[in-house]
Amino acid sequence: MFIDRQDAGRKLAESLKSYKSENPIILALPRGGVPIGYEVAKALEAPLDIFVVRKVGPPWNPEFGVGAVAPGVQILDKSSLRMLGLTEADLAPTIEQEQKELNRRLRLYRQNEELPNVEGKTVILIDDGLATGISTRAAIQGIKKLKPAKVILAVPVGPPETVAFLKTLVDDLICLEVPRDFYAVSAFYLNFPQVSDEEVIRLLKLSKQPGKR
C-alpha cells in the first residue's frame, strides 16, 4: 500500500538508483505517471518528460483497455476484440476521438517543444501502475521507434500476468508490488486523486528548475 503517488515515486526511485550513472531520461505517462516520474527524476537528477498514450476501450466501458494509441503507434488486442465480439471498424470512432485527445495533450503539455532525443540513451518509462498493460505496450513500442539504448519500465504495482508479459518487451522491469489478488491500481493507494492537466504542466516546469525542486 502506498500513501499517494509521491510516496510511490520516492520508493520507486530507491529501486532505480543503479541507473543514475547512465544519465537516464525519465518519460512518464500522463496524467497519473507524472507525479511519480517527478520524484524519480528528482532522485536520479535526470530530465523529466512525458510520453502521451491514450487507451482505447469499448463504447460501453471506456476504462477497459482493448487497444491504445501513442505517437506513431496504434495497437489493438485481438483476443479481447474476439471475446467482446468487436471489430476494428467498431472502434474507429473511439480511436479517432482518442487520437484527437492525444494530440490535444501533446500540444498542451509540450507547448510546442519536441520530445528530447533519446537515441542511444537509457529511457525509464514510468506510470502509477499496470492493469491490462495495453497502454504501456503502446508506449514501449513508440519509444523503441526512437532507438534508445535501453528501455526500463518502472511502476509501483501491477498484476503478475501483465508484469510477466511486459518484462519480455523491455530491458528491465521494476515493479514494487505484484499482488496475486489484483483488482485495480487505485486499490493500492490510500490517496489516489485524479491528476489535472495543470498539475502535469506544473511538475514538468518545476523539473526544469533544479533549484526549486
Contact 128, 8 (CB under 8 A): yes
- pLDDT at 212 > cutoff 70: no
Which class is domain 5-53+115-212?
alpha beta
Within 10 angstroms of residue 76's Cβ, the number of other Cβ atoms is: 17
Q: What value does the CA radius of gyration of the chain take, rounded to a whole number of Å?
A: 16
pLDDT for 113: 84
Contact 86, 56 (CB under 8 A): no
Q: Give me the amino acid identity at 173.
A: L
List pLDDT tens digits, range 134-154: 999 999 999 999 999 999 999
User: In the chain, where are the structural domains located?
Assistant: 5-53+115-212, 55-108
Element (H, E) at 39: helix 33-44
